[in-house]
Amino acid sequence: MTNRRKVALVTGAARGIGESVALVLAGRGFDVAVNDWNADGAEQTAEKIRQLGPKAIAVPGDVADSEIADDAVAKTVAQLGGLDVLVNNAGISGMSAITEMTDEQWHKMLSIHLYGTFYFCRAATPELIKNKHSKIINVSSIYGQTGEANFTHYSAAKAGILGFTKALAKELAPHLTNVNAIAPGWILTPLQQDVGLTQQQIDDLAEQVPFKYWAEADEVGYLVAFLASDEANFVTGQVYVINGGKPIVGI
**Using an 8 Å Cβ cutoff, are 61 and 109 in contact?**
no
State the catalytic residue, choosing from 115, 119, 143, 154.
Answer: 154
Residue 143 is a catalytic residue:
no
Q: Using alpha carbons only, what angle is made at residue 17 by residues 247 and 187, rounded to the nearest 5 degrees? A: 35
β-partners of residue 241 are 183
Name which of 86, 181, 95 is nearest 140 in CA terms.
Answer: 181
Query: Please, are residues 209 and 247 in contact by the beta-carbon 8 Å criterion?
Result: no
Among 25, 113, 18, 6, which residue's Cα sits nearest to residue 64?
113
Residues in the chain, total: 251
The phi and psi torsions of 175 (rounded to 5 degrees) equal -95, 5
Q: Which letter does DSSP use for residue 219 in this model?
A: H
Q: Among all residues, which ones are annotated catalytic?
A: 154
